[in-house]
């Protein structure tokens, strides 16, 4: 059994309409190439800095908002599943939001949503990030079925926490939309993705923002799909790019059969 998947690496701006137009063009291109599942990066609809007073102005309620309505219409138009990297969802606490990854089906339904569990904090004296200033941490792990494959959902900084992926149980592919910084991505992006794929004997797709944004923020790019043996099947550099790959259930079975590490676990 096979599934064709596309990672849409973007360099998003502050302008939601501009970003949605770009995402739509890329989804249309991916669909025309036979893709069944398309994945958008974290903050695909809007990326800002912590100094931007309007950085949360595009937040929405789950299943109620213009960004979600647009994605649902596009999913139906092109008959694809969309894993919508992340959008800001309103919480019950004023001025606090969830950073959420949505799975939208070809019939326009929201099949699952995952609220990012681990919130990024980084300060090297030059750049500072503290997501907890506006975000609430999620408290649930999320997996879902797409065309016979079990997907695990995670976002960006989650990549550094292997216990989250173990908690997913046995999955076929983990999808991680991201806006990894250039500094941390250069040091650890590929290393951690390959480690998570090997540990969980599954495919791992990291879909990143990819370059210098209008705010001056620089994200790492290098979106990639790694197979269950830890081999990089396809990857990008920086810039806007669509990468395509096919995941194969036989490959998963082969790796787990010749090295049944998941069956050998003694500590859970």
* CATH number reported for the structural domain that contains residue 13 in this entry: 3.60.110.10
4 is catalytic: no
Q: How far is CA 46 from CA 13, 35, 52, in A?
A: 6, 25, 11
Active-site entry in 22, 46, 72, 116: 116
Pseudo-torsion of CA 29, 173, 46, 218, nearest 10°?
A: -100
Question: pLDDT band for position 24 (50/70/90)?
Answer: very high
Q: What is the pLDDT of residues 96-142, one digit of tens each?
A: 999 999 999 999 999 999 999 999 987 776 677 789 899 999 999 99
- CB 197, CB 230: distance < 8 Å: yes
258 is catalytic: no
Mean pLDDT in residue range 37-59: 90
**Secondary structure (3-state) at 234:** strand
Q: Which domain, by its residues, includes 220?
A: 2-264
Q: Is the pTM of this model over 0.85?
A: yes
Enter the tokens of residue 108. 């326009």
Exposure string of 159-190, with b = 16+ CB inside 10 Å and e = fewer, is beeeebbbebeebbbbbbbbbbbbebbeeebb
Query: How wide is the angle at C-alpha 36 spanned by C-alphas 85 and 102, nearest 5°?
Result: 25
Tell me how many domains the chain contains: 1
Active-site entry in 22, 101, 131, 156: 156
42 is catalytic: yes
Distance CA 115, CA 153 (A): 9
Enter the tokens of residue 189. 């992006």
Distance CA 15, CA 72 (A): 20
Mean pLDDT in residue range 65-74: 98
Q: What is the pLDDT of residues 150-168, one digit of tens each?
A: 999 999 999 999 999 999 9
Question: Residue 50's CB: how many other CB atoms inside 10 A?
Answer: 13
Quick check: 50 pLDDT over 80? no
């Amino acid at each position: 059994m096979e599934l064709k998947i596309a990672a849409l690496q973007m360099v998003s701006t502050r302008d939601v309409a501009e970003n949605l137009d770009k995402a739509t063009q890329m989804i249309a291109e991916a669909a025309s190439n036979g893709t069944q599942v398309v994945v958008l990066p974290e903050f695909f609809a809007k990326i800002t800095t912590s100094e931007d007073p309007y950085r949360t102005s595009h937040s929405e309620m789950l299943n109620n908002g213009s960004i979600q309505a647009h994605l649902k219409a596009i999913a139906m138009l092109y008959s694809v599943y969309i894993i919508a990297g992340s959008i800001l969802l309103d919480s019950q606490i004023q001025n606090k939001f969830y950073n959420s990854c949505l799975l939208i089906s070809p019939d326009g339904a929201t099949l699952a949503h995952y609220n990012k569990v681990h919130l990024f904090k980084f300060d090297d004296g030059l750049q500072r990030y503290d997501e907890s200033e506006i975000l609430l941490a999620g408290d649930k792990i999320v997996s879902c079925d797409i065309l016979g494959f079990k997907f695990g959902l995670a976002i960006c900084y989650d990549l550094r926490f292997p216990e989250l992926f173990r908690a997913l149980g046995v999955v076929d592919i983990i999808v991680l939309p991201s806006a990894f910084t250039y500094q941390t991505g250069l040091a650890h992006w590929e290393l951690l993705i390959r480690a998570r794929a090997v540990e969980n004997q599954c495919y791992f797709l990291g879909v990143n923002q990819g370059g210098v944004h209008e705010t001056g923020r620089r994200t790492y790019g290098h979106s990639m799909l790694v197979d269950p043996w830890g081999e990089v099947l396809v990857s990008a550099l920086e810039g806007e790019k669509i990468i395509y790959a096919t995941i194969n259930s036989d490959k998963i079975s082969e790796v787990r059969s010749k090295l049944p590490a998941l069956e050998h676990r003694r500590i859970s």
